[in-house]
Chain A
Amino acid sequence: MSAPARTSELSWLARRVASKLAFGFAVFVIVSPAILVMLWMLSLSLKNEVDNMAYPPVFIPSPPTLANFEAVFENSNLMRYLVNSLLVTGGATLVAILVGVPAGYGIAKASAHRTAICILIARITPALSYLIPLYMMFQMLGLTGSLWPIFITHLVITIPIFVYVMIGFFESLPPDLEEAALIDGCTLWQAFRHVALPLARPGIVVAMILSIIFSWNNFVFGAVLGGRQTRTLPAAVYNMLTFEQVAWGPLAAAALLVTAPVLVLTLFIQKEIVGGLTAGGVKGG
């Protein structure tokens, strides 16, 4: 290697290091609001009430205590609400798989963008606007004491997510294999069931994750339609704020318990989530 080439390589390196430092700073600034709020939630949940109410604030819990988490489990019906949330989110996601995957396939294949817009309207409509009529209807049907109303309204979150992610996925899938299947005499359903569906597994996983997260996070359906026994977790956490004496530690602990599964899921499969979200620009509720 000749000398001039070496110096230019060195200056290239120096520039690269400088730009790396600048980027490091930019990334730090960009990422810190997210980290600081999460860390503060963790800090509040691990401190005793004296430290939580101290001014100046105590930043690092010393010693950290799990008393707040114990208090949450003892004083509230948390397990009950956890089961409610799991049933609602699980059920709504399951139904969304059953109807949303074929719908995404059909719409992608037929390029039926008008049909897609019909389902997109669910994305535009404010949740409260269908909540009032559904609330009245469930009251007339006498369903208000059960989880059914919450489950049914959560379909409004999960089905559009599935339809959108699956449309994007099936549009990107090369049609050759299914065409071959059709030529061999398969029906459209068989071509979908045995050729396209097995290939669609990655898309289904992405849609499932997004649907689970946005259904899990939903507050207003559980808050309006849920009774004492039928609340979902976010509604239950909100209720801790209003009806019990407001103690910051247990409140932060409950908030952390509700959101931790979603945060962990996001960190572990961020690549798939990023792919799914950039594809559809979807979000629930």
Chain B
Amino acid sequence: MTAPIAAAAARGYGRNYLPFAYPALAITAMVIVFPWLFTLFMSAHEWKIGSPREFVGFANYVKLAGDPRFLESIGHTLWFTLLSVVLPIAFGTGAALVFNERFPLRGFCRAVFILPMMATPVAVALVWKMMFHPQLGVLNYILTSVGLPPSLWHTSIDTVIPTLVMVEVWHWTPLVMLIVLGGLAAAPTEPYESARLDGANAWQMFRYITLPLIMPFVVLAVVIRTIDALKAFDTIFVISEGGPGTASETINIYLYLQAFAFYNIGYASAIVVVFFVLIIVLAMVLLWLRQKSKWS
């Protein structure tokens, strides 16, 4: 009896299952790994669509290091990312605490709350753009009718990035809420009961029990949010197109313009390589922080 079981177990464990993943890996390699190699190849060339390519080695990278527009776009990206991580994390965690309680219509309210992250980004970005209109927009009407000065929103250099962050926060706070809610749902109840017996108040219970328990999930949300904010494209492209001037031009937008508006394929490829390295480095740092938060 033991022989067939052992044989079945030997068949049923480990590497024998890997062929199941081969088709998916093959397609992923075709659509992602090949483009990477091709991008590296292109980035070493002066290559404009319609004209012959010319090997230039690292010249594109050298040019990037001295391109003020590119350096500025890194600053915009980091500022946009910082705001678009911190604010949704704060709001999303708060919302998760609320949705973790039981109340009537909770399912429906939660469904409404997650609508922004499911809605088509381009479609809602268009609606936001109409709401931001400095003369006719509904947001300035609301601001002035409660006695606040109207804002120039995406049409002013000073307010364009906070305006875009506002839309990004609206869009992605629900994802943070869902991740943290998952953590809250998995949290044990015993610590709360004993803390209550010991006379702990609500803030103390949050600070010393809830927060440590959900910390790994908050960090996961930070990782996901950082990656997504760095890559943000649709909202910025539709609402400000990187403007006014270049005031909201992130790396992703600059990259798009170089590739598909100016057709500098070689130069755009060099931007892709630098951008990708930046994302990987930030993601690794955050994942390392996550491991630390898991073990401590």
Chain A residues with a Cβ under 8 A of chain B: 20, 23-24, 26-27, 30-31, 33-35, 37-38, 40-41, 44, 53-57, 95, 98-100, 102-103, 105-107, 109-112, 115, 118-119, 121-137, 139, 152-153, 155-156, 159-160, 163, 175, 178-179, 182-183, 185, 188, 191-192, 213, 216-217, 219-220, 224, 233-235, 237-238, 241, 248, 251-252, 254-256, 258-259, 262-263, 265-267, 270-271, 273-274, 277-279, 281, 283, 285
Binding-face segment, B60-68, B178-186, B191-199 = B178-186
Minimum Cβ distance to chain A for residue B244 (Å): 17
A41–B182 touching, CB < 8 Å = no
Interface of B is mostly: helix
Chain A neighbourhood of B117, CB < 8 A: 283
Point out the residues of chain B lying under 8 angstroms from A279, CB to CB: 182
Is B121 in the interface zone, CB < 8 Å from A?
Answer: yes
Decide: A122 near B17, CB < 8 A? Known: A34-B116, A129-B272. no
Inter-chain contact A255/B113, CB cutoff 8 Å: no
Tell whether, in the assembled complex, residue A252 and residue B103 are in contact, meaning their CB atoms are under 8 Å apart: no
- Listed by A's residue number, 22 A-B pairs whose Cβ atoms lie within 8 Å are A23-B101, A27-B103, A34-B116, A40-B138, A44-B127, A55-B141, A102-B20, A103-B25, A119-B25, A126-B272, A128-B256, A133-B35, A137-B38, A179-B12, A191-B12, A220-B256, A233-B120, A255-B122, A267-B108, A274-B181, A281-B179, A283-B175
Q: How far is the CB of B258 from chain A (nearest CB, A)?
A: 9
Contact mask B231-263 → A, CB, 8 Å, 1/0?
Answer: 101100110000000000000100110011000
Number of interface residues of B (CB under 8 A): 95
Q: A105-B17, A155-B31, A188-B16 are in contact. Are A224 and B113 (CB under 8 A)?
A: no
Least CB distance from B118 to A in Å reads 4
Say whether A224 contacts B260, CB under 8 Å: yes
In the complex, the chain B residue whose C-beta lies closest to that of A192 is B20
